[in-house]
Amino acid sequence: MIDMKWLREQEENQLRVQQAADQKGIKLSVAELLKLDEQRRLLLQDVEALRQKRNQLTQEISVLMREGKREQAEPVKQKVKEINEQLTGQENQLREVEAAYSELIMLVPNIVSEDTPVGASDQDNVVVRQIGEPPVFPFPFRDHVELGEMHQMIDIPRGVKTAGSRNYYLAGVGVQLHRAVQQLALDLLVKKGFTLLDVPLMVRTEALMNTAFFPLGKDQTFHITDENKWLVGTAEVPLVSYYSGETVDVTEPLKLAAASMCFRSEIGSAGKDVRGLYRVHQFAKVEQVILCKADLEVSERMHQEITANAEELLQLLELPYQVMAVCTGDMSQKTYKQYDIETWMPSRGAYGETHSSSNLLDFQARRSNIRYRDEDGNLQYCHTLNNTEVASPRILIPLLENHQLEDGSIAIPKALQPYMNGMERIELRK
């Protein structure tokens, strides 16, 4: 959420927010919002003035009645009646304006950083750096689906039979690998000072509104209608919500992490990435969330840190990847600055997104009402950041494909071997 005082103050701020809305593809008129804001504030003043006048007259009536001056009280009562009628009309009008204002303000996007590339889609994202070289196989390589079936670790047909499209089973060593990657990621974050939480996966609507996944992300979220709750698509929602409505101590940044199941409806991706594990309804993520002071230098440093954490994991997994500066048109409403990390996937003949890392400034904290006291004792909204440390089973795509050997076996990166009971290679069953 944007600070309306900041928005009202300067035309430059208004132009910046309007530009962010246009670039992010959000249908919003900042001019209309400011008009509603002005109407709302004027109506609120009128309503408060009428209520105050009514209270004064009501006290006057009470005094007159105690003194037995009933005749003198009658015209005052008539004035109160007129004020009540006027007040009813003003309150109704205020409710209408406030409803329109509330709907519009929830569409206001975060501004974007000056170094964010301008573009319309992910095709306009810019490579920041590439680490590692894609493998050149001296044999016909297999994709992760074929490898998974050969090793009886991935079963998509039974997943579809049981739960419909974009569902799957992991079995045997596939489950071991899936959990090993997550545990490696968690251990890495604990060493870096993150506090682990086991989080709720069903949340109230407010949690999704407060973390700015709603209203624009409703079509990607599974709704539990009888409970009026939603299944989260990322642990970011419950991690940030952990401190909602609280005043926190961010003398040192608060670092939280969670491993959780996640659910996404994938509305709008019909016919897209239909083969394999790239785009599924249910998956697991290890998520990083940081809350820090509202200091751009601090939050930029945290942004670089959480991105580096994800890169370190990929390096431990011995996978080639590239870091992308995400352009304006590929950003969400809440994002100020974002990096995506794409890992080389031989079956796609390209890098595929496996991680996302974002700085939201105080946009999310304003909605969630998470504040801290600065050096002068004044309340300020925190900056919040988030990053996907790893998402599985998507990470299994590059893990299996890049480490495959000619005979169909799969080499296990050295860092993962302790989590696989010392296994160095996944061999074909005889």
Q: What residues are labeled active site?
A: 264, 279, 353, 356, 394
Q: 70-105 and 30-66 helices cross at what angle (nearest 10)?
A: 160
Burial 255-291 (b: 16+ CB within 10 A, else e): bbbbbbebbbbbeeeeeeeeebbbebbbbbbbbbbbb
C-alpha 86/C-alpha 50 separation (Å) is 8
Q: Alpha-carbon distance 181 to 191, whole Å?
A: 16
3 state DSSP class of 170? strand
Find, among 354, 388, 398, 417, the residue nearest to 260 by Cα: 388
For CA atoms 314, 319, 322, 327, give the dihedral sign.
negative
Q: Which residues of 405-429 are buried (b: 16+ CB within 10 A; e: fewer)?
A: eeeebbebbebbeebbeebeebeee
Beta carbons of 203 and 238 less than 8 angstroms apart: yes
Q: Rounded to an integer, what distance in angstroms lies between the CA atom of residue 133 and that of residue 195?
A: 34
Strand order in the sheet with 202-204: 202-204, 229-231, 223-224
Which one-letter DSSP state was computed for residue 113?
Answer: -
The span from the CA of 281 to the CA of 79, in Å, is 63
Contacting residues for 78 by C-beta, under 8 A, at least 6 apart:
none
